[in-house]
Amino acid sequence: MSTPTKKSINNAIINAKCPQCRAGNMFKHNWWQVTKFAKFYQHCPYCNLRFDREPGFFHGAMFISYAMIVAMVTTAWFILYFVFGNPAMEVYMYTIVLLNIVLLPIFFRYSRVLYLYAFGGVKFNSQISKHSK
Ligand SMILES: [Zn+2]
């Protein structure tokens, strides 16, 4: 268990904390641990909130992941077109595939975090949070 000093919603989302207590981690490992980045707690290790709100709840996170990838592809296209002067089509393809592979852990995690915060129906409970160690 970690104990963040600030409990703002922005810090909680950035650090992938539980939406109810903002103290417990949602993921077991850091995003840069390539083979383990997707390991997810079923329940908050601090307040025991069930993260998977209902069976198949996180399937909806695919829509957020899709939006993130569209934003990434659009940004990559803009940079390649306007900064690098419209290179060959292969450069676009390799750049986008490489960015997708490199950013996969971030898209995966933050799509789930944002989906849980937006549609999980969980409110921050400062009473639970006060008992942080
Ligand atoms: Zn919690």
The pLDDT-based confidence of 12 (bands split at 50, 70, 90) is: very high
Amino acid, single-letter form, for residue 120: G
Q: What is the pTM of this model?
A: 0.84
pLDDT tens column, 62-117: 999 999 999 999 999 999 999 999 999 999 999 999 999 999 999 999 999 999 99
CA of 43 to the centre of ligand 1 (A): 8
The residue to which tokens 């939006």 are assigned: 67
What does the alpha-carbon distance between residue 23 and residue 73 come to, in Å, rounded to a whole number? Answer: 33
What is the predicted pLDDT for the residue at 30? 84
Q: Where are the domains of the chain?
A: 9-130
CA of 98 to the centre of ligand 1 (A): 35
CA of 37 to the centre of ligand 1 (A): 19
CA of 25 to the centre of ligand 1 (A): 8
Amino acid, single-letter form, for residue 36: K
CA of 107 to the centre of ligand 1 (A): 22
Q: Which residue has the higher pLDDT, 19 or 126?
A: 19
The 3-state DSSP composition of the chain as helix, strand, coil percent (nearest 5) reads 50, 5, 45
pLDDT of residue 4 exceeding 50: no
